Amino acid sequence: MKKTIAFVILLAFAASSLFAQTKTVAGRVTDAGGAGVPGAAISAGGRAVGTTNADGRFSVSVPANTSSIRISSIGFADKDVPVTGAVLAITLSSAEATNLNEVVVTGYSTIQRKKFSGAIAPITGESVRRPTFGSFDQALQGQASGVSVVSNSGQPGSNAIVRIRGNGSINGSNVPLYIMDGIEINAADFASLNANDFDKVEVLKDAVATGMYGSRGANGVIVITTRRGRSGTLQLNYDAQLGWSKLPKDRLVVMNSSQKIDYELQRGNPYGWTVAEQDSLRKVNFNWRDALFQTGITQEHNISASGGTAASRFFASLGYMKQDGILKTTGLERYSARINVDNNIKNWRFGINLQLGYSKIVGTSEANTFLSSPLNAIRWGNPYERDINPNTGDFQETGGPGTGELTSGQPNAAMELYLNYNYSLQTKAVATTYLEFHLPAVPGLYARTNWGVDYTNNETAGFTSPRTSVGIARQGILTRATGRNTRYTGTTSLNYKRTFGKHDIDGGIFTEVVKNDSRNFSFTGYGFTNGFTNEAGITAGSATNPNYIPAVGGGGTQNGILSYFAILNYGYNDKYFLNLVGRRDGSSRFGGNNRWANFGSVGATWVIAQEPFMEKQKFFNDLRLRASIGTNGNQNGIGDYNAIPLFGRVSYAGVAGWAPSSPGNADLKWETNRTINFGLDFSVLNRRLSGTVELYDRKTINLLYNIPLDPSGSGFTSLPSNFGSLRNRGIELSLRGDVIQKRDFRWTLEGNLTWNQNRILDLIQDSSISGIGILAKGQPLNSLYLVESAGVDPATGNALYMKRDKSGTTAVFSVNDKVIVGTTDAPLFGSIGTRFEYKGFDLSATAVFFFNKVIYNNDRGNVINPTYYFDNMSVEVLREWRKPGDITDVPRPSSGTNIGTGVPAPANPYQSQVTRLLESGDFWRLRNVTLGYTFKESTLRSLGLKSARV
């Protein structure tokens, strides 16, 4: 294997010696205002030869017989320019600016946007490279309509939740498919990938755009194209970024020391503080937030090199990133390397792409909801207690020596944070190689094969100290796990691309194989009374003896997909376009009854602006109408062997054996998405304003769903099956406008807006309730199901609840009064951005927003629950009802004694499944602000530099 890889790399570089005779072409590309157009692609004879620098200038090598070059740039029309021998001055005037002529990448092919009926949102590489995020998917927030990106963790390197046009599955996966340089990559591995190597990103949203991915494209597809080498002189680039992050201001205000002491006295002085102790504790006011959190500093460094000739080009990069978490001791460190080589020799094209990444993520051993979680401790920690004992310098254990706890009985969060650890190491390699041959006997006909591997090795470790509250009972806990996942992808195609007069044909037939192989191993060890040094110190023992390993596990799975598909794109007279996709997939995850499935889509485009009746009007510069319909499948989210009965090891009466562990379902089949899409693309006012409107209807049938079973009759509680349907329908709007466009000053505005309505159409039962959540016909996924709070009875202090039928209120809580109160998914979201350019300076900012979503704030519930009065509490409880006639929104306490009377309080249980804990999830947030300055080339020439930006 190593010899094969070495040979492929050697072969790719060897082609660099096969240079043809060339000549140099130089010039500058500008827009209508005279400003240089950076990053414009330059091609000769259909092959890329270079790009413009930050000032729009270029100098490229082209074959000696080249008569013209083509200039392409996002937002401008392609322009063919004759090569005259002189320095070229190329102006892309505002009349030529349009995004309909840009080339989009679908993963299997490239096509001019105006010829494609699919819903595609292009994202520039600069948009995802510039923000300093530990995980690429977080950089997608606000970049495209229809794409919702939510981050639920501040842990550096953690993945965001990305959804394209809503959730389309209940038990299946809703994660989009990610494609990089033609092969699928795992969305969970972005912490090890360097987004600075990405050239552009395309978001594929409807059935035509995702149809070529068949059973893998139901949740949308995100196609990543990495940066390529450009012919010309060797270019070296260095990029450094520095950023910081802080814990946002907490909207939950908790008591200070004096307030907490007073409240405890009102609740009967549970700790028996003396007057002297009370006075001493009132002066402490320890800030748990400052003890546990910090300003997280992020630094990122990238160096890259690119160059070559028309025959061979390369791009290479090295990257380093270090991101300190806002929670002390946490962080991300990443090293990355990339090499891309592309070669053209007569009728052959071949190359390799190799990405290497290594990351270390240091987290915490506590889940976000655990008692010792720092996010909870900054609210629960009593303000009169400290993290460190001022007398001993060791961690505070006021709950008793050796307990790891504070007076309240809760863990000392600082002790948990510093003595425990949790980290994960990931090594990732993504390699692809391609070979393409153009048949000279048949112009436009070419064959291509693309093979790649995505390899990931994960190692995780966690240690819980025997000094901490959780580790005491087991005398310390150590967990270690390793996992390896390898995905192989091979695609071979025969393609044809040709123009005959007014007819334009572009199509191909493909075959593809994808294979996944996963292996894992783990163990958990207990007993470290003498402390922990390394795993070698662990010795076997018994459950009652320290130093033993009671749990060892491991396993492996495989799955694969074999596919055949075809793509046909047809255009007539540069006005009417037809796109057809058909695909047949077979998956090892399904039984023989439904292993194979067929998917297809069709789309059409009418370029209205090209019609004769539009010639005299001056308002529309571009106008294009699109429509598409088709199907996709989804198999993700189910196990690799759900179609067959499985057996597992069991022990009964001390005897080991085997017993059925899963019933299997040979009739399990694909979840199917049917999508209808209508789109309108336009530019007006001499192309100063452009935009896209999309209307879509996405229906999912044969939902992957675990049907409940009666265990007394079957021995199983559920059966993986297909039942039910749901729908997402909505509207998307994207706009971009040049507000001011002058030679030295330019101001642009852009934004996008999405409205998505999600509804469950059919279930095996009318509703399925789980805690505060519910699945119900006619309602959206992730709906909350709570009893409506109706205030406090002034006479008794009891909490009041609205009856389900709205006939009145009651002081008796009943789950039968629950109603659906909203969804945690925002139906309305989007972003707005602006950019100012003045001479060499530029300032850009982007804000994102989400509306019409609700949040169930369990954290608030923890600090207003009167049964937790031994911990710190929200200042909200200072408004508790105390006597008849009090008007307040906080009911009387449900435990302890009545304030000021010493008489036990009547039963008034605290209830959590109520709308009292419901909050609006609407927000506006400034996502990023960037200020930069680009130096003039004339200023840098004496330093031997071509471009520089700070």
Summarised one tens digit per residue, pLDDT across range 865-883 is 888 888 899 999 999 998 9
C-beta of residue 70 within 8 angstroms of C-beta of residue 592: no
CA distances from 140 to 146, 338, 368, 567, 735 (A): 11, 22, 25, 28, 17
Query: What does the radius of gyration of the chain's CA atoms come to, in whole angstroms?
Result: 32
C-beta of residue 132 within 8 angstroms of C-beta of residue 241: yes
Q: How confident is the model at residue 246 (pLDDT cuts 50, 70, 90)?
A: confident
Residue partners of 233: CB distance under 8 A and separation at least 6: 59, 307
Q: How far is 750 from 950, CA to CA, in rounded Å?
A: 24
Q: How confident is the model at residue 572 (pLDDT cuts 50, 70, 90)?
A: very high
Q: Residue 75 has what pLDDT?
A: 54
Q: Is the pLDDT of residue 934 over 70?
A: yes
Q: Is the pLDDT of residue 205 over 90?
A: yes
Q: In this structure, what token pair is assigned to residue 357?
A: 């990444």
Complete DSSP assignment for 85-129: SSPEEEEE-GGG--SSSSEEE-SS-EEEGGG--S-EEEEEHHHHH
The amino acid at 124: T
What value does the mean pLDDT take over residues 528-550?
53
Only one residue has tokens 């819903």, namely 119
Second CATH level (architecture) for the domain 2-98 = Sandwich (2.60)
What value does the mean pLDDT take over residues 93-112?
65
69-79: per-residue pLDDT in tens? 888 775 566 67
Q: In this structure, what token pair is assigned to residue 882?
A: 């105390």
283-299: per-residue pLDDT in tens? 999 999 999 999 999 99
Write the DSSP symbol of residue 921. -
Q: Residue 918 has what pLDDT?
A: 94
Q: Residue 77 has what pLDDT?
A: 62
Among 288-297, 413-422, 428-437, 547-556, where is mean pLDDT lowest?
547-556
| Burial grade of 126 (CB within 10 A; 0-12, 13-18, 19 or more) | middle
Q: Residue 417 has what pLDDT?
A: 87
Considering only CA atoms, which of 264, 266, 263, 261 is closest in space to residue 276?
261
Q: In this structure, what token pair is assigned to residue 405?
A: 């706890």
Q: Residue 20 has what pLDDT?
A: 42
59-68: per-residue pLDDT in tens? 888 877 777 7
Considering only CA atoms, which of 288, 260, 382, 271 is closest in space to residue 871?
382
Q: Residue 674 has what pLDDT?
A: 95
Q: How far is 568 from 149, CA to CA, in rounded Å?
A: 33
Q: Residue 7 has what pLDDT?
A: 37
What value does the mean pLDDT take over residues 150-161?
81
Its pTM stands at 0.85
Give φ, ψ of 429 to 5 degrees: -135, 130
Q: Residue 371 has what pLDDT?
A: 53
What value does the mean pLDDT take over residues 99-120?
81
Q: Is the pLDDT of residue 940 over 60?
A: yes
Q: Residue 927 has what pLDDT?
A: 83
Q: Is the pLDDT of residue 923 over 80?
A: yes
Among 49-63, 273-287, 735-749, where is mean pLDDT lowest?
49-63
Residue partners of 363: CB distance under 8 A and separation at least 6: 155, 330, 422, 423, 424
C-beta of residue 188 within 8 angstroms of C-beta of residue 652: no
The arrangement of strands across the sheet holding 809-810 comes to: 789-792, 799-802, 809-810
Percent of the chain with pLDDT over 90: 46
Residue partners of 85: CB distance under 8 A and separation at least 6: none
Residue partners of 432: CB distance under 8 A and separation at least 6: 181, 182, 183, 352, 353, 450, 451, 452, 453
Among 78-82, 408-412, 573-577, 871-875, where is mean pLDDT lowest?
78-82
CA distances from 335 to 264, 354, 355, 424, 474 (A): 52, 14, 11, 14, 37
Q: Is the pLDDT of residue 910 over 70?
A: yes
Q: How confident is the model at residue 544 (pLDDT cuts 50, 70, 90)?
A: very low
C-beta of residue 81 within 8 angstroms of C-beta of residue 71: yes
Q: How far is 355 from 428, CA to CA, in rounded Å?
A: 8
What value does the mean pLDDT take over residues 190-202?
88
Q: Is the pLDDT of residue 12 over 70?
A: no
Q: Residue 916 has what pLDDT?
A: 94
Q: How far is 361 from 426, CA to CA, in rounded Å?
A: 9
Q: Is the pLDDT of residue 6 over 50?
A: no
Q: How far is 628 from 119, CA to CA, in rounded Å?
A: 9
Q: How far is 612 from 600, CA to CA, in rounded Å?
A: 34
Beta partners for 41? 51, 72
Beta partners for 494? 447, 509
Residue partners of 231: CB distance under 8 A and separation at least 6: 48, 49, 50, 60, 61, 62, 307, 308, 309, 310, 313
When comparing pLDDT for 589 and 637, which is higher? 589
Considering only CA atoms, which of 306, 301, 332, 341 is closest in space to residue 318?
301
C-beta of residue 408 within 8 angstroms of C-beta of residue 270: no
C-beta of residue 117 within 8 angstroms of C-beta of residue 606: no
What value does the mean pLDDT take over residues 607-612?
92
Residue partners of 26: CB distance under 8 A and separation at least 6: 57, 58, 59, 60, 87, 88
What value does the mean pLDDT take over residues 247-272?
90
The per-residue pLDDT of the chain, averaged, comes to 85
Domain extent listing, the chain = 2-98, 104-230
Q: How far is 792 from 17, CA to CA, in rounded Å?
A: 84
C-beta of residue 144 within 8 angstroms of C-beta of residue 692: no
Q: Is the pLDDT of residue 605 over 60?
A: yes
Q: Residue 549 has what pLDDT?
A: 59
Among 467-476, 611-620, 622-631, where is mean pLDDT lowest?
467-476
C-beta of residue 428 within 8 angstroms of C-beta of residue 193: yes
445-497: per-residue pLDDT in tens? 999 999 999 999 999 998 888 888 777 777 788 888 999 999 999 999 999 99
| Burial grade of 230 (CB within 10 A; 0-12, 13-18, 19 or more) | buried
Considering only CA atoms, which of 860, 863, 866 is closest in space to residue 905?
866
Q: How far is 553 from 481, CA to CA, in rounded Å?
A: 9
Q: In this structure, what token pair is assigned to residue 12?
A: 């790719």
- Count of CB atoms situated within 10 Å of the CB of 237: 14
Residue 766 CA, chain-centre distance (Å), reads 32
When comparing pLDDT for 631 and 268, which is higher? 631
Q: Residue 944 has what pLDDT?
A: 72
Q: Is the pLDDT of residue 404 over 80?
A: no
Considering only CA atoms, which of 865, 861, 868, 870 is closest in space to residue 261?
870
C-beta of residue 328 within 8 angstroms of C-beta of residue 293: yes
- Count of CB atoms situated within 10 Å of the CB of 47: 15
What value does the mean pLDDT take over residues 773-794?
94
Strand ranges, E, within 869-922: 918-920
Residue 220 CA, chain-centre distance (Å), reads 13
Q: How confident is the model at residue 23 (pLDDT cuts 50, 70, 90)?
A: confident
Q: Residue 897 has what pLDDT?
A: 44
Q: Is the pLDDT of residue 241 over 90?
A: no
Q: Is the pLDDT of residue 639 over 90?
A: no
Percent of the chain with pLDDT over 70: 89
Write down the CATH superfamily of domain 104-230. TonB-dependent receptor, plug domain (2.170.130.10)
The arrangement of strands across the sheet holding 120-124 comes to: 120-124, 198-204, 221-226, 177-180, 183-185
Any idea how long the chain is? 950
Q: Residue 98 has what pLDDT?
A: 45
Residue 67 CA, chain-centre distance (Å), reads 45
When comparing pLDDT for 250 and 210, which is higher? 210
Q: Residue 35 has what pLDDT?
A: 65
Considering only CA atoms, which of 573, 577, 628 is closest in space to residue 606?
577
Q: Residue 54 has what pLDDT?
A: 66
What value does the mean pLDDT take over residues 791-810?
93
- Count of CB atoms situated within 10 Å of the CB of 546: 16
H helix or E strand, kind and range, residue 380: helix 374-380
Q: How many Cα atoms occupy the beta-carbon half-sphere of 281 within 13 Å?
A: 21
Task: Give me the sign of the Cα torsion angle 775, 778, 782, 786.
Answer: negative
Q: Residue 907 has what pLDDT?
A: 54
Q: How confident is the model at residue 430 (pLDDT cuts 50, 70, 90)?
A: very high
Q: Is the pLDDT of residue 100 over 80?
A: no
The amino acid at 4: T
Q: How far is 908 from 530, CA to CA, in rounded Å?
A: 48
Q: How far is 166 from 145, CA to CA, in rounded Å?
A: 12
When comparing pLDDT for 187 and 384, which is higher? 384
Residue partners of 940: CB distance under 8 A and separation at least 6: 946, 947, 948
CA distances from 198 to 126, 292, 333 (A): 8, 35, 19
